[in-house]
């Protein structure tokens, strides 16, 4: 059974003009356990919305998302929150670290709502991403690359089955981007997590064996916006 | 709370002030009433010139206020020999030493009177009670401390109840004893022989046998006795006033100024309300800045009710922190109030004595604080996750 299966998924939003724009219209998408897939697409192509739907942050208008055998679309919000807390890790484009918390606390928060706090595991994750000496540092005291690594550690803190990464290298320079991508992929392998990454960066796309153009699976009425 | 440390501290401080004020107002109100109505110097009643019972008691027992007038020696002897009276102690006032009242009386006050159940006036080591025929003085503990008076010191009294350097009497009195603290108004007066006041140089010789008031102890403190004497002096007579019972007379004072109590209490409640409103304002205003933070937590799997609870807990925590510090403010306010009351009346309030307000005020303010968190918590509850996360690609 695939880890992630999407069928006839639709999501639209009201524009300020009062029109309904369909942002996501995916007929079918599957992803196997521990697979690493990148969805390619330009800005505004609905990548983030799709990830939000998979993460249960948004509820689809119709269709189904099945993750690890559970149909998310049929779950109420608290159940989706619970599933996200236990089965999904999320790496945001701008990291979304909590500024008032240390690195360690940010990682602990990643596990607090799911399997529970495991300080040793949190420390080991931060050590794995090269931040063993930065546990008590606040995000503002870290470089961009270091913040991104904290975000990676946090995404793996709840031992997820699936890690969603939304343009994780978008804010990094080329060197950091390459290293970061390698780290994300390796860390996911080590923690037996599948990786679904969205990006428009050709350098990123070239690192993956499986590249799925979003336009091929997402039939929407959005205008494609170029960079 | 750590992230918004400054606003948290300021908000908590406002709760501290409110809580400290509320507890202080309540404690002073209750202790003052209980203490004042409990002080009677060991007597049941006071006989004095016709006038206000309250003025009579304040003058004779609390050594405040002017005497409403004098009684003749015969009035004193009459009540002394009354079959209902166990003890009658005359006092005379009219002089002071640097603002501290001189009270003339007889040695029986110190020998026979229990100023509180089981408590007699006692002297510090080395002292003795005055000889009624000599110009000797026994100084209350508070006066001795404030004026530095000790055994062997000599002083000139000053005429009147208020200190006037131009009104010095030629008489010289010698301190022969200092009273141990009794925590009663007796601590803040200087006791001299009755004749010391009556025959002070410059006083009217025609009034040389008059007294200001008579402190009365009824046989068995009998209510029937008190009632009979009240009828005799207050209803049937018209020259004198019999103030009985002393506690009820003082309670009348507190009833008269009960409105002031209510105003003080109202101010304290309003301060508490404003302080809890400051919690609401502080957290609510921070909600806009914290939308993204809340969205991130929701994205990590926190449920809406967890977010709601966290905000409520934050509000309650600020109130709790405030109430812990409130006890410090309470101690400061109460120490100040107790000092003033002791200075003015000799009555001692105990700032550290337990009062139920120390339980219900914190409980009420913490509850109010938590309730103040409901509106911001609800705003946090409704935070749209996707809209408040980082810009989308």
pLDDT digits (tens, 9 = 90+) for B368-388: 999 999 999 999 999 999 888
Q: Is A190 helix (H, G, I), strand (E, B) or coil?
A: helix
Compute the distance between CA of residue A147 and CA of residue A138 in angstroms, rounded to an integer: 9
Total residue count of chain B as it appears in this document: 393
Both B240 and B358 in one domain: the answer is no
**Using one digit for the tens of pLDDT, what is the confidence trace for A100-131?**
899 999 999 999 998 889 999 999 999 999 99
Q: Does B238 lie in the same domain as B262? A: no
Residues B299, A49: C-beta atoms closer than 8 Å: no
Task: Verify whether the Cβ–Cβ distance B301 to A82 is below 8 Å.
Answer: yes
Query: Does B392 score more than 50 pLDDT?
Result: no
Residue B157 lies in a domain: yes
Residues in A closer than 8 angstroms to B2, CB to CB, are 100
Question: What CA–CA distances, in Å, run from B368 to B23, B261, B314, B315?
Answer: 16, 23, 13, 9
Residue B160's domain spans which residues? 45-244
Is B199 inside a domain boundary? yes
Look up residue B84 and give its two tokens: 């209902």
> Do residue A94 and residue B391 have CB atoms under 8 angstroms apart?
yes
pLDDT at residue B276 greater than cutoff 80: yes
Please report whether residue B146 resides in a domain: yes
Test A47 with B298 for CB contact under 8 angstroms.
no
Regions of chain A with pLDDT less than 70: 221-227
pLDDT over 60 (residue B361) = yes
Which residues in chain B touch residue A167, judged by CB atoms under 8 angstroms apart? Answer: 393
pLDDT exceeds cutoff 60 at B97: yes
Q: Which domains does chain A have, with CATH numbers?
A: 4-101+161-217 (3.40.50.300)
CB A67 within 8 A of CB A88: yes
CB contact under 8 A, A90 and B299: yes
pLDDT of residue A171: 78
Residue of A nearest to B388 (CA): A96
Residue A151's closest CA among A86, A101, A84, A206? A101
Phi, psi of B239 (to 5 degrees): -100, -30
Nearest-CA neighbor of B177 among B114, B123, B244?
Answer: B123
Q: Is the domain of B147 the same as that of B262?
A: no
The pLDDT of residue B3: 67
Closest C-alpha to A185, from A122, A91, A69, A60: A91
The answer to whether the Cβ–Cβ distance between A82 and B303 falls below 8 Å is: yes
Domain boundary (B244, B268, B295) is at: B244
pLDDT tens, position by position, B199-231 = 888 888 888 889 999 999 999 888 999 999 999
Contact B300 A110 (CB under 8 A): yes
Same domain, B261 and B197: no
Write the pLDDT tens digit of every residue in B167-197: 899 999 999 999 999 888 899 999 999 999 9
* pLDDT given for residue B122 in this prediction: 94
The shortest CB-CB distance from A47 to any of B298, B391, B393 is to: B393
Mean pLDDT of B307-315: 92
Mutate to test the interface with B, among A59, A100, A159 (most CBs of B within 10 A): A100
- Whether B305 and B380 map to the same domain: the answer is yes
Whether A166 sits inside 8 A of B393 (CB atoms) is yes
Last residue of a domain, one of B244, B277, B304: B244
pLDDT score, position A221: 60
Out of B293, B300, B389, the one facing A85 most closely (by C-beta) is B300
**Does residue B393 sit within a domain?**
no
> Is B251 within a domain?
no
Domain count, chain B: 2
Closest Cβ–Cβ partner in A47, A96, A158 for B390: A96
For chain A, strand residue ranges (E) read 4-14, 20-31, 36-40, 62-67, 70-71, 88-91, 162-166, 194-199, 210-213
| pLDDT for position B46 | 95
Q: Do B292 and A82 touch (CB under 8 A)?
A: no
Contacts of A44 in chain B (CB under 8 A): 393
Q: Examine the domain organization and report whether B169 and B23 are in the same domain.
A: no
Q: What is the pLDDT of residues B106-134, one digit of tens each?
A: 999 999 999 888 889 999 999 999 999 99
Residue B367 to residue B351: CA distance in whole angstroms: 25
Q: CA-to-CA distance for B103 and B291, rounded, in angstroms?
A: 72
Q: What does the pLDDT read at residue A225?
A: 40
Residue A2, judged by CB atoms within 10 A of its CB (0-12, 13-18, 19+), counts as middle
Q: Are residues B73 and B105 in the same domain?
A: yes
The rounded distance, in Å, linking the Cα atoms of B388 and B262 is: 49
Q: Would you say residue B249 lies in a domain?
A: no
- Whether B294 and B376 map to the same domain: the answer is yes
Residues B205, B104, single domain; the answer is yes
In this predicted structure, the answer to whether residue B323 has a pLDDT above a threshold of 90 is yes
User: Same domain, yes or no, for B91 and B234?
Assistant: yes
ipTM of the complex: 0.90
B304 touches chain A (CB under 8 A): yes
Q: Give A98's contacts in chain B (Cβ within 8 Å).
A: 293, 296-297
Mean predicted lDDT score pLDDT of chain B: 89
- Per-residue pLDDT tens over the stretch A141-157: 999 889 999 999 999 99
* Domain presence at residue B91: yes
CA angle at residue A193 from A192 to A198, to 5 degrees?
150
Verify that B194 and B311 share a domain, yes or no. Answer: no
Q: Which residue of A has its CA nearest to B1?
A: A100
Residue where a domain terminates, one of B218, B244, B270: B244
Same domain, B100 and B22: no
């Amino acid at each position: 059974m695939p880890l992630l299966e999407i069928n006839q998924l639709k999501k639209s939003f009201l524009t300020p003009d009062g029109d309904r724009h369909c942002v996501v219209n995916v007929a079918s998408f599957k992803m196997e356990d521990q697979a690493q897939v990148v969805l390619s697409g330009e800005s505004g192509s609905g990548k983030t919305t799709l990830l939000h739907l998979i993460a249960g942050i948004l509820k689809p208008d119709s269709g189904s998302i099945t993750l690890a055998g559970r149909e998310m679309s049929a779950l109420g919000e608290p159940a989706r929150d619970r599933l996200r807390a236990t089965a999904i890790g999320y790496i945001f484009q701008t990291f979304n670290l909590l500024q008032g918390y240390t690195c360690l606390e940010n990682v602990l928060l990643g596990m607090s709502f799911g399997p529970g706090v495991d300080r040793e595991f949190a420390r080991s994750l931060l050590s794995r991403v090269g931040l063993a000496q930065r546990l008590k540092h606040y995000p503002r005291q870290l470089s961009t690359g270091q913040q991104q690594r904290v975000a990676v550690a946090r995404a793996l803190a709840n031992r997820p089955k699936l890690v969603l990464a939304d343009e994780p290298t978008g804010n990094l320079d080329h060197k950091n981007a390459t290293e970061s991508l390698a780290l994300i992929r390796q860390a996911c392998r080590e923690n037996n997590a599948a990786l679904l990454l969205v990006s428009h960066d050709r350098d990123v796309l070239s690192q993956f064996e499986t590249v799925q153009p979003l336009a091929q699976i997402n039939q929407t009425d959005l205008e494609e916006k170029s960079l | 709370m750590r992230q918004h440390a400054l606003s948290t501290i300021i908000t908590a401080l406002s709760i501290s002030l409110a809580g400290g004020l509320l507890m202080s107002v309540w404690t002073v109100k209750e202790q003052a009433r209980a203490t004042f109505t409990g002080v009677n110097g060991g007597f049941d009643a006071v006989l004095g010139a016709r006038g206000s019972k309250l003025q009579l008691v304040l003058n004779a027992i609390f050594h405040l206020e002017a005497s409403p007038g004098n009684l003749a020696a015969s009035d004193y002897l009459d009540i002394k020999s009354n079959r209902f009276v166990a003890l009658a102690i005359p006092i005379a006032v009219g002089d002071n030493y640097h603002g501290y009242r001189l009270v003339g009386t007889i040695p029986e006050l110190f020998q026979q009177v229990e100023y509180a159940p089981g408590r007699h006036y006692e002297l510090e080591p080395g002292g003795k009670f005055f000889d009624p025929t000599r110009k000797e003085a026994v100084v209350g503990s508070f006066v001795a401390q404030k004026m530095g008076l000790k055994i062997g010191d000599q002083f000139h009294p000053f005429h009147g109840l208020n200190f006037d350097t131009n009104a010095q009497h030629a008489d010289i009195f010698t301190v022969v004893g200092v009273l141990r603290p009794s925590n009663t108004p007796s601590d803040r007066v200087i006791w001299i022989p009755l004749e010391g006041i009556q025959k002070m140089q410059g006083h009217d010789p025609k009034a040389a046998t008059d007294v200001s008031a008579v402190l009365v102890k009824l046989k068995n403190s009998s209510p029937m006795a008190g009632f009979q004497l009240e009828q005799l002096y207050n209803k049937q007579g018209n020259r004198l006033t019999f103030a009985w019972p002393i506690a009820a007379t003082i309670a009348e004072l507190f009833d008269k100024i009960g409105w002031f109590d209510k105003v003080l209490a109202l101010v304290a409640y309003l301060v508490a309300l404003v302080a809890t409103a400051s919690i609401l304002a502080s957290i609510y205003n921070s909600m806009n800045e914290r939308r993204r933070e809340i969205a991130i937590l929701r994205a990590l799997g926190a449920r809406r009710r967890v977010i709601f609870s966290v905000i409520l807990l934050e509000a309650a925590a600020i109130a709790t922190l405030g109430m812990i510090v409130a006890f410090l403010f309470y101690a400061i306010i109460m120490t100040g109030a107790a000092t003033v009351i002791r200075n003015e009346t000799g009555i001692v309030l105990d700032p550290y004595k337990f009062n139920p307000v120390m339980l219900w005020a914190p409980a009420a303010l913490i509850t109010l604080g938590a309730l103040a968190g409901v509106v911001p918590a609800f705003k946090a509850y409704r935070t749209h996750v996707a809209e408040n996360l980082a810009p989308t690609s």
